[in-house]
């Protein structure tokens, strides 16, 4: 693929990296340096404004066709976030479908982040998985601890998929806990009017409260990400600090704000977390301490 001066030179170089299977920060740095622009500008220009988005899409489609690739109209959607522009984005002279949410790698992404929708979807999928294994839960040939292990591997794993980046609140955490408690009572064959407290239920099944499990998954993922090179895209996204002015009023609770609050409650700064994460043994101790604190309610 050649670089076309009338296309500004940047996008063909980025497309060349994609076609050749070359990825990573070093590749982007090379393109940015070649064209005399900052790496942050290289990324932000791809989604800067309505007209810019349309132009970039057209150029991507053109460069893709030169390599025998074609953007699928049925698999392409547009979601506007804090954008008052209403002019449609087009592909092949057709308006692209606009949505308020979409599914990406099994998780729901929406204008407000998608956690609430994703949790509802996860509960429904986990409920289906639980019902599929109905014969296992009612089996008298399988010990209770075996059923709990199957529940954790085949149901809870479905429920908590992607939970590392959920913006949890008291409401959606309670929904998750209610679902798990019902499943555990079903496995133990506890029926009304028999009563058992949640604490006794967790002790009998050796289950931790769902809030602690989500925290453990989240901080485990954070430690794994902080151990990656500083050039890694995932780590850069985690540590990214966007600049600008926020709207008047109380700032909305976000994943990052709640995570910062948990770290402060444990007396840790991000610099300390970054250093500690390099030692896996010490990091596990930090995660245990972080998970012992209750998160701030939304």
Q: What is the pLDDT of residue 175?
A: 96
Strand bridging mode 97-98 / 77-78: parallel
Q: State how far the Cα of 133 lies from the Cα of 158, in Å rounded to an integer.
A: 13
User: Comparing C-alpha atoms, which of 121, 67, 63, 61 is closest to residue 96?
Assistant: 61
Which ranges constitute the DSSP H helices of 104-169? 115-132, 134-137, 144-151, 157-159
What pLDDT, on the 0 to 100 scale, is given for residue 209? Answer: 94
**pLDDT computed for residue 64 by the predictor:** 86
182, two tokens: 């019902």
Handedness of CA 248, 254, 260, 261 (dihedral sign): positive
Phi, psi of 3 (to 5 degrees): -90, 130
Q: Which pLDDT does position 45 carry in this prediction?
A: 44
pLDDT of residue 276: 92
User: In whole angstroms, what is the distance from residue 234 CA to residue 31 CA?
Assistant: 19
Residue 293 pLDDT:
54
pLDDT on residue 240:
80
User: Where do the structural domains in the chain lie, given as residue ranges?
Assistant: 5-99, 107-207, 214-238+253-290
Structure tokens at 85: 């522009």
- Residue 39 CA: distances (Å) to CA of 45, 145, 154: 10, 52, 42
32-69 b/e (C-beta count within 10 Å ≥ 16 → b): beeeeeeeeebeeeeeeeeeebbebbebbeebeeeeee
Q: Label residues 164-187 b or e (16+ Cβ within 10 Å = b).
A: bbbbbbeebbebbbebbbebbbbb
Whether 263 contacts 269, CB under 8 Å:
yes
171-173-177 Cα angle (round to 5): 120
pLDDT of residue 22: 45
Contacts of 278 (CB under 8 A, 6+ apart): 226, 227
Residue-level pLDDT, tens digit, the chain, 298 residues: 434 444 444 444 544 544 444 444 445 455 445 544 444 554 444 445 667 778 888 888 888 888 888 888 888 888 887 777 778 888 888 898 888 888 888 888 887 777 888 999 999 999 999 999 999 999 999 999 999 999 999 999 999 999 998 988 899 999 999 999 999 999 999 988 888 899 999 999 999 999 999 999 999 999 999 999 988 988 888 888 766 676 777 767 788 888 888 888 888 888 999 999 999 999 999 898 888 755 444 4
Task: Give the three-state DSSP class for 219.
Answer: helix
């Amino acid at each position: 693929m050649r670089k076309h001066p009338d296309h500004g030179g940047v996008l063909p170089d980025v497309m060349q990296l994609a076609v050749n299977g070359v990825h990573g920060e070093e590749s982007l740095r090379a393109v940015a340096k070649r064209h005399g622009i900052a790496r942050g500008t290289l990324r932000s220009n791809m989604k800067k404004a309505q007209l810019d988005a349309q132009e970039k899409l057209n150029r991507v489609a053109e460069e893709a066709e030169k390599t025998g690739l074609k953007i699928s109209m049925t698999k392409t959607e547009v979601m506007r976030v804090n954008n008052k522009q209403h002019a449609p984005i087009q592909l092949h002279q057709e308006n692209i479908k606009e949505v308020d949410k979409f599914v990406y790698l099994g998780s729901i992404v929406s204008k407000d982040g998608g956690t609430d929708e994703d949790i509802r979807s996860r509960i429904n999928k986990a409920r289906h998985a639980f019902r599929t294994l109905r014969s296992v839960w009612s089996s008298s040939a399988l010990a209770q601890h075996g059923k709990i292990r199957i529940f954790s591997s085949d149901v809870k794993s479905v429920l908590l998929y992607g939970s590392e980046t959920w913006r949890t609140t008291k409401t959606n955490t309670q929904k998750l806990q209610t679902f798990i408690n019902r499943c555990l009572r079903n496995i133990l064959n506890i029926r009304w009017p028999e009563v058992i407290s949640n604490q006794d239920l967790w002790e009998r099944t050796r289950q931790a409260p769902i809030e602690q499990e989500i925290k453990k998954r989240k901080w485990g993922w954070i430690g794994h990400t902080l151990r990656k090179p500083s050039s890694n895209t995932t780590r850069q996204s985690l540590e990214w600090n966007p600049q600008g002015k926020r709207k008047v009023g109380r700032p909305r609770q976000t994943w990052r704000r709640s995570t910062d609050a948990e770290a402060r409650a444990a007396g840790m700064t991000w610099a300390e977390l970054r250093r500690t994460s390099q030692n896996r043994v010490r990091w596990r101790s930090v995660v245990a301490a972080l998970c012992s604190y209750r998160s701030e309610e939304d």
